[in-house]
Structure 1
Amino acid sequence: MRVKEIPEEIRRRIEELREEIEYHNYRYYVLAAPVISDQEYDKLVQELIELERAYPELVTADSPTQRIGDKVLDEFKSVEHSEPMLSLDNTYDEEQIREFDNRVKRSLELHSVEYVAELKIDGVSVALRYEEGRLVLGLTRGDGTRGEDITENLKKIRTIPLRLRQPVDVEVRGEIYMPTEVFERLNSDRIERGEPPFANPRNAAAGTLRQLDTRITRERHLDSFIYYVVHPERYDLKTQWDALSWLKTVGFKVNPNSKLCSNVQEVIEYWKEWTKRKDQLPYWVDGVVVKVNQFELQSTLGMTAKAPRWAIAFKFPAERVETRLIGVTIQVGRTGVLTPVAELQPVQLAGTIVKRASLHNFDYIQEKDIKIGDWVYVEKAGGIIPQVVSVDVNRRSGEEQQIQIPRVCPVCSGRVGKLNDEDVALRCLNPHCPAKLKRSLETFAARSALDIKGLGEKIIEKLVDSGLVKDLADIFYLTPFELTQLGSGIGHKTIANLLSEIEKAKTAPLHKIITGLGIPMVGEKTARVLVQNFRSIKKLSNASFEELTQIQSIGPEVARSIREYFEDPKTKELIEKLEKAGVRLESEEESKQQTLSGLNFVITGVLKNFTRNQIEELIQSLGGKVSDSISRNTDYLIVGEKPGSKLEKATSLGVKTITESEFLKLAKVDIKNLRQQKLF
């Protein structure tokens, strides 16, 4: 349908919905005073999604729906800042802040100066540009002169307005941060996966904003506070205090704890107050930013090459306590990671009594030479997670004991080890360890495996904790009556949908079944290779070590892991239960010709009919290969909308570029048939 054929009432309704949704976003995220229920809000969003789906010509970059769709970016482009983003000088005590105040007053030849005191958020500084009230660009600080374009990731942050409440051209600056609750959950998941935890929320936020997959940014629920207006005189703003009020009026989230101080003594009192109260906040702060309030005075003071003379960061003192390590316990995470935890003589730290602290991993224990009986120093990582940071060796008596590295899993007595030489985590290698069941079920139900919609983390928790599910196969034996016993929040419709998804999973492709089993060192790509060589679970389970290592992409470690998995008596029981439940454990006869056999593809831009994962699956199922980067071995670059730098590189190397429709012709695939078969 061409644009001129779109009814005027449709255009009007779409614009009304966008304005209404942005208004409710402002009420919820900025004012913290919603006026409609979540259900009513969701209805508005769903109506807009359906209208934009019917009339894609009307989709705009500032539509609220653009927060929902995910993109995989090729790279982050470097962009010059309109004005340098300078850092701040730091101070750590009252004497130094009074020296700062004296310098300011001497320079201005004033007896007293008014300041604005703002909490210093532990996050990532960004610059946001708006044209006619619409977000057009978002940059990191970078080196202060140039930053990286992270606009697409910033659109996933709910508190950053895509459209302002006034149609102004403006650039603002602020801080993107990760809330405490999100930070703790993210680090917990990383530790369980054997990945190093983020040291603090700032590092976590920075790592999130630099993800090329915008889905990751959206799922991590970052937040923002905006505090600076570039060229405030254009909006008739005279002071920083006025600017904070104006920022909130036009739609930005502004920190509510800032204070207008008539002199430096009030600044010091504010700093003392928040030194004590900072741990009560739902985000982490590491000090107070002190700014001269009047913009005219800021201009007079000017700046050095690195920092403004009219502002300074008044940092909070670091908190560290000494206590005794009286024992070590081992926790087994959902991925099998064995985490040593220090048992401490109780000590007060940052407002709480600390009895346990992280020892990270056994390499960390050896590196720090930590022993049972040692007097150790404890800090809170990122102000949140207690961790042992060092040992007071001068207080050793000689009776301290080495911390023993476990030889077997403390839960199942299974074998422990590292997945490879680069792995820092010691893990339980028994795939049937009860401590790993919840994580195994998540893997089994994940999109890359059986894709069982509705079988999420909360329901898995209830299924395992209730004893209804003791292994992966048990989900295929669940009954409606059993599911009703799981408690509130699981109604009849939810149960019916879940059982329907579980039934559908019985006919999942064999490579997805193998992926879902969670065989150590066997991911989706290896699972596909195994299916190409062994057409059934039975054949795979009987494959010898020699047969496995003859496959080009299967090395000795992977082959050994596969053999150990299938030789385990519990694996044999599991396979029998899956077969008895009606799960298809053989590959379908090849219904597709291998039309892309031997061809190498790279993908760039946003595709119309496929997600990135979907088109990769299709290419691989037709015998082709997919790479992340262009090389002379690339046969085709598939180009979608808004392509990145890969297109330029393909042109320079002479790699053939094709559109999505040209790819479908090359692959001899009918998109309508794929959709009818519900393959995508």
Structure 2
Amino acid sequence: MDGKIPPEVIERAKKLREELNYHSYRYYVLNDPIITDREYDNMLKELSALEKKYPELITPDSPTQRVGEKPAEGFKEVRHSARLYSLDNTYSEEEVLEFHNRVKRLLGTDDIKYICELKIDGLSITLRYESGTLVLAATRGDGAVGEDVTANVRTIKSIPLKLRRPLDIEIRGEVFLPKSEFKNLNDERSEEGLPLFANPRNAAAGTLRQLDPQEVAKRNLDAFFYQIVDPRRYKLETQWDVLAFIREIGLKTEPHAKLVEKTEMVIDYWEYWQKEKHVLDYAVDGTVIKVNSIHQQEELGYTAKSPRWAIAFKFPAEQARTKLTQVSFQVGRTGVITPVAELDPVELSGTVVRRATLHNFDYILEKDIRIGDLVILEKAGEIIPQIVKPLSEVRTGNEKLIEPPERCPVCQGPVGKGKEGEVALRCLNPACPAKLERRIMLFVSRDAMDIRGLGGKLVKRLISTGLVGNFSDLYKLTPFELAQLGTGIGDKIIANLLREIDNSKDKPLSKLLVGLGIPGVGKKLALDLAKHFETLESLEKAKIEDLLEVQGVGNELAENIYNFFHNEEVLKELDELKKFVNTKEPLKKREGILEGKKIVVTGTLKNYTRKEIHDLIIALGGEVSSNVSARTDLVIVGENPGSKLEKAKKKGIKIMSEEEFLSTIKGENSDDLS
């Protein structure tokens, strides 16, 4: 970079950082966004572009700095400024009353109020801010010494890199994996033949100790906070004040805390959430009862292990007992064979359970689970029914060992371990119908090639009749062949389906990449890969180091993508598929043609959704704005444009139709964008 940074650029970057941090607070902490995701993304891209051009602009609190570029070699030890204590646990109302009586006795008063909070089943974390900027995040460790996980915590979007006030402060809380994310993560790991996480807490702990922050970022951790070190320093007199202050400066607190005056209300709170915890998207394993007054907390003090002013009132484990009557086997998209326990129906956590995952055959051996066993069930993360243990002491001798299948239960093909050290058993037949069915369903899904009308039943019929054995076969289907499928497949359905298949041929490369089912590549990463490599051929030839240049791709993911495109069966299938579908970016882009341009889109476009045209503008270096102003350089007009068109005319701003704009950026039109 030559010369000094222009003052207006410095000011713009500062304003963007402030706005982005504010809108992150509204979205992730208050759950009350006031701008669209698109507007947020546009601001973030503008800031990224400025920082790329002027690296001196980058600050530690910049939203662009959430994910580090390089994996850590290990975690450094951190000595905590004040000890992180654990809580004493109780499981009965009687012990809660004993706790209350002990507190009364030690304080010498009946004037005690409590805060009831839900106990998040996650991983304890402490954050240190200096002048409002995050400088350290550490795990609990042994309470005195933890591990520095700052780079990983920076990827958690609900944790601000800069507080809403310039404070020197240390705040403590719990990092957790939402139950919905836990299910998605285990589904992905099951498809890849990796060991499943037992519960969201294990998943959160395993994620936070990943050495590569880019891998951490993909798992969407979240966090709640509940404690400030030395709260008196901030003129806080109660735990209720502490929670309000934490929210005020920009961090999340668990929203269901309650201030109570009687122990009966403590019991009521516990009973209510024991029944209702399943409605939450995060795992809770009890409630925490805290003396509300900070002065009384200080007077009560600590034992060697725990505070005398707080106690955890744990929920009983929700388990059920039933009989395992049979074991069935499911074959996933990648061929992983998952054993599933068939059970006598039993109610558990509000639902009737008839089946439970057995994870893999190592799990069955480790637990010594047999057909005919009486077993104890519980829900991992309150979601996935699983067998905790068999009741081996009541066996009759009629129980049978669970044997891994010698052949694929669907295609009768060979089975085995995909690679050395892998836990999962796989079907090794590349043409297995079960694998093919799941792969085809992904390929035709809305996020992929979006071939509407191809549902599960029709896909099964196409596969079972031999009409479809791979992706490219979809594009070879004829009206005559479809008519032979029989009942329910009339002329209109055939015509609509063939039209949808034909329309899918021109889908952008990113849609194709989603449909291919590349391990670890979802919708967002597929778009990033398509933008970076531009053609399928370039992606096929990419080396590991090339893949690592893409935002969000870490070492493990880069290897997965590289291995996918070096699989002989995959390459053979792609060679045939290329004869039918688009494998390039849909436009020949004049790179940088929109650099620095502020563009407004109004009206309904023929060729693009609003998001797609915005993505294109940003890819060409432009900035998308939602309002016409004196700073607007161009307004793109579709059908029914509304008042923005009139406003642009009055201000003398350049106006283009959709067709004019596309012709210009393709280089087919001599018109310029100045």
Q: Does 1:209 find its partner at 2:208? A: yes
Paired residues of 2:153 and 2:208 also in contact (CA < 8 A)? yes
Paired residues of 1:483 and 1:495 also in contact (CA < 8 A)? no
Paired residues of 1:477 and 1:581 also in contact (CA < 8 A)? no
* Residue matched to 2:254: 255
Q: Does 1:485 find its partner at 2:485? A: no
Paired residues of 1:506 and 1:582 also in contact (CA < 8 A)? no
- Please state whether the residue corresponding to 2:447 is helix, strand or coil: helix
Question: Could you say if the C-alpha distance between residues 497 and 222 of structure 1 is closer, same or farther in structure 2, counting changes exceeding 3 Å?
Answer: closer
- Counterpart amino acid of residue 282 in structure 2: Y
* Residue matched to 1:37: 36
Q: Deviations over 1:570-616 (max 9, x none)?
A: x99859847978999xxxxxxxxxxxxxxxxxxxxxxxxxxxxxxxx
- Counterpart amino acid of residue 505 in structure 1: L
* Residue matched to 1:119: 118
What percent identity do the matched residue pairs reach? 50
1:506 is displaced (CA, Å) by: 3.9
- Counterpart amino acid of residue 25 in structure 2: Y
* Residue matched to 1:406: 405
Matches within 5 A, 1:292-441: 292-419=291-418, 422-437=421-436
Work out which of the residue numbers 496, 501, 505 in structure 1 matches 2:536: 505
1:234 is displaced (CA, Å) by: 1.1
Q: Does 1:459 find its partner at 2:490? A: no
Paired residues of 1:438 and 1:461 also in contact (CA < 8 A)? no
- Counterpart amino acid of residue 159 in structure 2: I
* Residue matched to 1:82: 81
Deviates more, 1:415-424 or 1:182-191: 415-424
* Residue matched to 1:519: none
* Residue matched to 1:61: 60
Paired residues of 2:447 and 2:511 also in contact (CA < 8 A)? no
Residues of 2 paired with 1:345 and 1:152: CA distance?
Answer: 47
Residues of 1 paired with 2:475 and 2:67: CA distance?
Answer: 32
Q: Deviations over 1:500-558 (max 9, x none)?
A: 96993246666879xx9xxxxxx9989999x9xxxxx9xxxxxxxxxxxxxxxxxxxxx
1:244 is displaced (CA, Å) by: 0.3
Question: Could you say if the C-alpha distance between residues 509 and 383 of structure 1 is closer, same or farther in structure 2, counting changes exceeding 3 Å?
Answer: closer
Q: Deviations over 1:347-399 (max 9, x none)?
A: 11111111111122223334434333332211112332111222234544554
1:78 is displaced (CA, Å) by: 1.1
Paired residues of 2:449 and 2:507 also in contact (CA < 8 A)? no
Matches within 5 A, 1:17-32: 17-32=16-31
Residues of 2 paired with 1:396 and 1:317: CA distance?
Answer: 26
Residues of 2 paired with 1:364 and 1:314: CA distance?
Answer: 32
Q: Does 1:182 find its partner at 2:197? A: no
* Residue matched to 1:110: 109
Residues of 1 paired with 2:181 and 2:399: CA distance?
Answer: 37
Residues of 2 paired with 1:187 and 1:527: CA distance?
Answer: 20
Q: Deviations over 1:197-242 (max 9, x none)?
A: 1111111111111111111111100011011111111111000000
Residues of 1 paired with 2:27 and 2:62: CA distance?
Answer: 17
Question: Could you say if the C-alpha distance between residues 427 and 20 of structure 1 is closer, same or farther in structure 2, counting changes exceeding 3 Å?
Answer: same
Question: Could you say if the C-alpha distance between residues 439 and 510 of structure 1 is closer, same or farther in structure 2, counting changes exceeding 3 Å?
Answer: farther
Matches within 5 A, 1:597-612: none
Question: Could you say if the C-alpha distance between residues 491 and 441 of structure 1 is closer, same or farther in structure 2, counting changes exceeding 3 Å?
Answer: closer
1:112 is displaced (CA, Å) by: 4.0
- Please state whether the residue corresponding to 1:233 is helix, strand or coil: helix
Paired residues of 2:431 and 2:469 also in contact (CA < 8 A)? no
- Please state whether the residue corresponding to 1:267 is helix, strand or coil: helix
Q: Deviations over 1:82-128 (max 9, x none)?
A: 11111111111111111111111111111242111110101111111
Residues of 1 paired with 2:113 and 2:51: CA distance?
Answer: 50
TM superposition score normalised by structure 2:
0.70
* Residue matched to 2:49: 50
Residues of 2 paired with 1:460 and 1:307: CA distance?
Answer: 56
Paired residues of 1:511 and 1:527 also in contact (CA < 8 A)? no
Matches within 5 A, 1:146-157: 146-157=145-156
Q: Deviations over 1:118-173 (max 9, x none)?
A: 10101111111111111111111111111111111111111101111111111101
- Please state whether the residue corresponding to 2:268 is helix, strand or coil: helix
Residues of 2 paired with 1:432 and 1:151: CA distance?
Answer: 46
Question: Could you say if the C-alpha distance between residues 145 and 104 of structure 1 is closer, same or farther in structure 2, counting changes exceeding 3 Å?
Answer: same
- Please state whether the residue corresponding to 1:5 is helix, strand or coil: coil
Q: Deviations over 1:59-102 (max 9, x none)?
A: 11101111256432222111111111111111111111111111
Residues of 2 paired with 1:154 and 1:507: CA distance?
Answer: 34
TM superposition score normalised by structure 1:
0.70
- Counterpart amino acid of residue 313 in structure 1: A
1:495 is displaced (CA, Å) by: 3.6
1:472 is displaced (CA, Å) by: 5.8
Residues of 1 paired with 2:275 and 2:561: CA distance?
Answer: 54
1:317 is displaced (CA, Å) by: 0.4
Question: Could you say if the C-alpha distance between residues 326 and 107 of structure 1 is closer, same or farther in structure 2, counting changes exceeding 3 Å?
Answer: same
Question: Could you say if the C-alpha distance between residues 494 and 17 of structure 1 is closer, same or farther in structure 2, counting changes exceeding 3 Å?
Answer: farther
Would you say how many aligned residue pairs link Structure 1 and Structure 2? 527
- Counterpart amino acid of residue 204 in structure 2: A
- Counterpart amino acid of residue 365 in structure 1: I
Q: Deviations over 1:649-678 (max 9, x none)?
A: xxxxxxxxxxxxxxxxxxxxxxxxxxxxxx
- Please state whether the residue corresponding to 1:272 is helix, strand or coil: helix
Deviates more, 1:144-153 or 1:420-429: 420-429
Deviates more, 1:421-430 or 1:301-310: 421-430
Question: Could you say if the C-alpha distance between residues 71 and 461 of structure 1 is closer, same or farther in structure 2, counting changes exceeding 3 Å?
Answer: farther
Q: Deviations over 1:406-449 (max 9, x none)?
A: 11111221101224664332211223334334887999x9xxxx
Residues of 2 paired with 1:100 and 1:61: CA distance?
Answer: 44
- Counterpart amino acid of residue 51 in structure 2: E
- Please state whether the residue corresponding to 2:535 is helix, strand or coil: helix
Question: Could you say if the C-alpha distance between residues 583 and 294 of structure 1 is closer, same or farther in structure 2, counting changes exceeding 3 Å?
Answer: closer
* Residue matched to 1:196: 195
Paired residues of 1:507 and 1:583 also in contact (CA < 8 A)? no
Question: Could you say if the C-alpha distance between residues 263 and 112 of structure 1 is closer, same or farther in structure 2, counting changes exceeding 3 Å?
Answer: farther
Paired residues of 1:476 and 1:503 also in contact (CA < 8 A)? no
- Please state whether the residue corresponding to 1:162 is helix, strand or coil: coil
Residues of 1 paired with 2:571 and 2:288: CA distance?
Answer: 62
Residues of 1 paired with 2:305 and 2:256: CA distance?
Answer: 27
Residues of 1 paired with 2:244 and 2:35: CA distance?
Answer: 25
- Please state whether the residue corresponding to 1:255 is helix, strand or coil: coil
- Counterpart amino acid of residue 293 in structure 2: Q
- Please state whether the residue corresponding to 1:321 is helix, strand or coil: strand
Residues of 2 paired with 1:527 and 1:161: CA distance?
Answer: 32
Residues of 2 paired with 1:427 and 1:69: CA distance?
Answer: 35
* Residue matched to 2:6: 7
1:475 is displaced (CA, Å) by: 9.2
- Please state whether the residue corresponding to 1:485 is helix, strand or coil: helix
Paired residues of 2:67 and 2:213 also in contact (CA < 8 A)? no
Residues of 1 paired with 2:558 and 2:257: CA distance?
Answer: 50
- Please state whether the residue corresponding to 1:427 is helix, strand or coil: strand
Paired residues of 1:329 and 1:341 also in contact (CA < 8 A)? yes
- Counterpart amino acid of residue 348 in structure 1: E
Question: Could you say if the C-alpha distance between residues 491 and 121 of structure 1 is closer, same or farther in structure 2, counting changes exceeding 3 Å?
Answer: farther
Residues of 2 paired with 1:237 and 1:45: CA distance?
Answer: 35
Residues of 2 paired with 1:269 and 1:324: CA distance?
Answer: 35
- Counterpart amino acid of residue 485 in structure 1: E
Aligned CA RMSD, in angstroms, stands at 3.9
- Counterpart amino acid of residue 86 in structure 1: Y
Please list every run of 5 or more consecutive structure 2 residues that lacks an aligned counterpart in the other structure: 463-467, 478-495, 514-529, 548-556, 584-674
* Residue matched to 1:143: 142
Residues of 2 paired with 1:527 and 1:178: CA distance?
Answer: 25
